[in-house]
């Protein structure tokens, strides 16, 4: 094979064949190339059977890219190779073995929305006040406990003397019972149940330990306790030949809040004493100034193995720091920078990202982008698979895969409308509960209940439809089966009769859904319905985000940006209590610093940092202090406008636009509305806005003017660009 494009350290890693190894791979250092070429090297040069290799990534997208690269390198089929996420690998193991734990092999996977529905139902069943038991909080607690390998019984024992915690334990206990009854698993169960199998059944454990001669794990710094135990269980061999090759970067460990343990990578040599440690420090992504900034910040952490990123590229542009006097000024400045990037640097919108610490920060930025006509997408915000019509179709497929799944049954029993009322469904639920059977089983004996004739006929018809389609599942291709379900259920006809804009949009979404079914069918060797449902359930938030062919600026949290790269990065809201967010311990603060390090290293060419002196928090302005991370940057790398700020001035910054706004075009040549030099606006002034008409100024704060318009309500505008004049 041709290894000439590998640098010295990459080549060392690729040629490490036997024995454990820890590859410390800095941001942009080419770790994916190393992983794929190492696998290709094993297969091509060392005659390793691809079936004996287990490669674990953290996203389906990364797994697909890795498989494609391997096939290109070995000029062969890698579809049977075990390459996937922790969850998808565990699904494959469970399909063949979960019957040993009392589940059916046709189990379904509940996504986050499904889990919330179950938790909400548990709270209602236990007659608890939903105001005191937040669904999101409870779901998170259950997830964290499972990742700590704490069962509901363990949690109840630990918290029995504390009333609220005990009630949460009861919710947890009922939640698991409901999942078991529906033959369903949540995300955390996938790994926990796999561990249970490996630990409780020696034949299963030895089979997979002997099967996987080589184990590779990407993003090892983000593994939690159960993931760590899974790798340790599979990787520890009686023969002593432990070919566990883990890749990670302790400086990018940013998921402690959901159970990831940085000690897994820091202590790898303790678990595998003979491990070889290799560091990839050469960066192929960012300019040296950006790398120097990242290095200078992360060195303040103590929980690290240590490395120093460098590149052979030039120094690059300095980092641009901007202090705004409010979040609205900050948003305007970001819009200006993006305008310059697009029109001066010729940077495409899809090569620009605005990163925030929390999703709540995006409101002001979105409002400004809408006003200026900057196309954008909230990554992880608008999920294609979260749309009603897609959730409905998925519910049909889930029920066909597993007839005992009551939550899907409830969702679709009256979609399309079948004349089955709420009272009828409640009576059916009561009957099913009394008999301890599923709603689908209960509907088989519907005549025995006291139901209206019309409802009885429709429930029987629905039962027959599900039974008939279930028989066709093995006879048809996945695509044909999904299409048949869509048509025969009446769902297609329902959408086609809706001639509204929303109805047309739903039809287009379903068409896109069928494209995804076809794509899965073509890419996957295992394309049964159960595999497709598992694939969709295990997609990450980013992978679920609605795709678009139009170039748009990405707005996302830093957590969502992990693994991505852009020509230009803007990091907004760099203030104490925002980024870093309020933290109680030094360990938490170190994770915040790692998060900032991740944000900085997403940038390839230019990096913009912004913060506000005052920010609207819970409806009122608060004074803000700039983030400590700004002070940790070498000042010779930063261009700052802070010395030019005057909070009392109506013009608090030097405009970076070299031209006029592209939207609204109507004001470009109207000096009467846009020339505000030597004009002072104050509370009570009557004004005329080019688009919104007459109004009255009700607040002036620096460069922000708030006015009440006769027809448009309260609006906040930025000077000097607001198209207004005194009247």
Catalogue the active-site residues: 31-32, 218-219, 252, 602
- Strands 724-726, 686-689: pairing is antiparallel
Phi, psi at 580, each rounded to 5°: -75, 145
Contacts of 705 (CB under 8 A, 6+ apart): 681, 697, 699, 716, 717, 718, 719, 722, 724
Contact 288, 338 (CB under 8 A): no
- CA atoms of 496 and 138, how far apart (whole Å): 40
Q: What is the DSSP string of 114-156?
A: HHHHHHHHHHHHTT--TTTS-HHHHHHHHHHHHHTT--HHHHH
- Strands 276-280, 108-110: pairing is unpaired
Instruction: Record the tokens describing residue 37, joined without a space.
Output: 């070429």
Q: Exposed/middle/buried for 102, CB within 10 Å: 0-12, 13-18, 19+?
A: exposed
Helix orientation angle between 225-235 and 202-211, rounded to the nearest 10 degrees: 80
Q: Exposed/middle/buried for 179, CB within 10 Å: 0-12, 13-18, 19+?
A: buried
Contacts of 683 (CB under 8 A, 6+ apart): 697, 698, 699, 700
Quick one: how many helices (H) and strands (E) in the chain? 30, 22
- CA atoms of 96 and 93, how far apart (whole Å): 6
Q: Exposed/middle/buried for 328, CB within 10 Å: 0-12, 13-18, 19+?
A: buried
Residues in the chain: 727
Angle subtended at Cα 65 by Cα 61 and Cα 68, rounded to the nearest 5 degrees: 140
Look at residue 719 and give its three-state secondary structure.
Answer: coil
CA distances to 159, 381, 557, 608, 619 from 358, in Å: 31, 12, 6, 18, 17
Closest among 254, 300, 277 to 27, alpha carbons compared: 254
The residue whose two tokens read 């790898």 is 268
643-662 as b/e: b if 16+ CB within 10 A = eebeeeebebbeeeeeeebe
* Farthest-apart Cα atoms in the chain, separation: 88
Contact 273, 247 (CB under 8 A): no
- CA atoms of 324 and 124, how far apart (whole Å): 47
CA distances to 44, 110, 271 from 38, in Å: 10, 35, 22
Angle subtended at Cα 111 by Cα 163 and Cα 88, rounded to the nearest 5 degrees: 120
Label each residue of 647-671 as H, E or C.
CCCCCCCCCCCCCCCCCCHHHCCCH
Instruction: Record the tokens describing residue 592, joined without a space.
Output: 């915040």
Helix orientation angle between 478-488 and 453-472, rounded to the nearest 10 degrees: 170
């Amino acid at each position: 094979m041709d290894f000439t494009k590998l640098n010295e350290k990459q080549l060392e890693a690729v040629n490490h064949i036997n024995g454990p190894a820890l590859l410390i791979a800095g941001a942009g250092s080419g770790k994916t190339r190393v992983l794929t070429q190492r696998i290709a090297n094993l297969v091509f040069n060392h005659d390793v059977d691809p079936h004996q290799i287990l490669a674990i990534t953290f996203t389906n997208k990364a797994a697909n890219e890795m498989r494609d690269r391997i096939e290109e390198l070995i000029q062969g089929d890698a579809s049977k190779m075990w390459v996937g996420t922790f969850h998808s690998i565990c699904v494959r193991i469970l399909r063949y073995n979960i019957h040993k734990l009392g589940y059916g092999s046709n189990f379904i996977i509940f996504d986050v929305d499904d889990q919330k529905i179950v938790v909400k139902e548990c709270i209602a069943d236990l007659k608890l006040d939903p105001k005191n038991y937040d669904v999101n909080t409870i779901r998170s607690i259950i997830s964290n406990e499972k990742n700590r390998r704490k069962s509901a019984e363990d949690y109840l024992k630990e918290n029995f003397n504390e009333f609220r915690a005990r009630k949460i334990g009861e919710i947890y206990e009922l939640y698991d019972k409901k999942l078991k009854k529906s033959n369903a698993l949540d995300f955390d169960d996938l790994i926990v149940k796999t561990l249970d199998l490996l630990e409780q059944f020696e034949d299963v454990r030895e089979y997979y330990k002997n099967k996987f001669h080589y184990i590779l794990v990407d993003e090892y710094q983000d593994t939690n306790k159960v993931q760590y135990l899974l790798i340790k269980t599979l990787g520890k061999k009686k023969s002593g030949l432990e070919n566990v090759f883990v890749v990670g970067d302790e400086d990018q460990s940013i998921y402690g809040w959901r159970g990831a343990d940085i000690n897994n990578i820091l202590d790898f040599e303790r678990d595998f004493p003979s491990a070889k440690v290799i560091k990839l420090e050469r960066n192929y992504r960012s300019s040296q100034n950006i790398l120097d900034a990242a290095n200078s910040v992360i060195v303040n952490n103590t929980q690290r193995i240590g490395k120093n990123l460098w590149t052979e590229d030039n120094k690059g542009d300095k980092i641009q720091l901007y202090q705004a006097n409010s979040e609205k000024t900050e948003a305007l400045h970001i819009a200006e920078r993006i305008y310059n990037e697009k029109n001066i640097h010729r940077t495409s919108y899809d090569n620009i990202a605005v990163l925030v610490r929390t999703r709540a920060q995006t409101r002001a930025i979105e409002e400004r982008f809408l006003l200026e006509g900057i196309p954008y997408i909230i990554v992880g915000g608008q999920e294609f698979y979260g749309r009603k019509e897609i959730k409905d179709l998925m519910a049909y497929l889930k029920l066909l895969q597993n007839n005992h799944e009551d939550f899907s049954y409830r969702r679709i029993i009256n979609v399309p409308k079948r004349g089955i009322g709420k009272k009828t469904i409640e009576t059916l639920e009561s009957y099913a509960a009394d008999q301890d059977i599923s709603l689908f089983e209960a509907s088989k004996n519907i005549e025995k209940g006291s139901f209206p004739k019309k409802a009885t006929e429709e429930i029987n018809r629905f039962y027959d439809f599900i039974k008939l389609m279930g028989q066709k599942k093995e006879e048809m291709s996945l695509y044909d089966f999904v299409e048949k379900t869509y048509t025969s259920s009446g769902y297609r006809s329902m959408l086609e009769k809706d001639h509204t804009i929303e109805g047309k949009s739903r039809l287009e979404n379903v068409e896109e859904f069928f494209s995804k079914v076809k794509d899965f069918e073509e890419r996957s060797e295992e394309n049964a319905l159960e595999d497709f449902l598992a694939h969709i359930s295990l997609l990450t938030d980013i992978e679920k985000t609605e795709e678009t062919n139009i170039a748009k600026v990405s707005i996302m949290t830093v957590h969502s940006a992990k693994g991505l790269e852009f020509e230009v990065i803007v990091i907004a809201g760099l203030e104490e209590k925002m980024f870093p967010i309020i933290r109680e311990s030094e360990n938490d603060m170190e994770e915040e610093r790692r998060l900032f390090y991740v944000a900085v290293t997403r940038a390839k060419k230019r990096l913009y940092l912004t913060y506000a002196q005052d920010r609207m928090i819970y409806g009122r302005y608060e004074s803000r202090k700039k983030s400590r991370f700004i002070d940790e940057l070498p000042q010779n790398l930063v261009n700052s406008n802070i010395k030019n700020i005057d909070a009392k001035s109506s013009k608090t910054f030097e405009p970076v636009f070299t031209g006029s706004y592209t939207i609204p075009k109507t004001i470009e040549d109207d000096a009467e509305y846009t020339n505000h030099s030597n004009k002072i606006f104050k509370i009570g002034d009557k004004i005329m806005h080019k688009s919104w008409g007459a109004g009255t100024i009700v607040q002036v704060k620096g460069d922000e003017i708030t006015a009440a318009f006769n027809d448009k309500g309260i609006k906040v505008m930025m000077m000097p660009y607001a198209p207004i004049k005194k009247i």
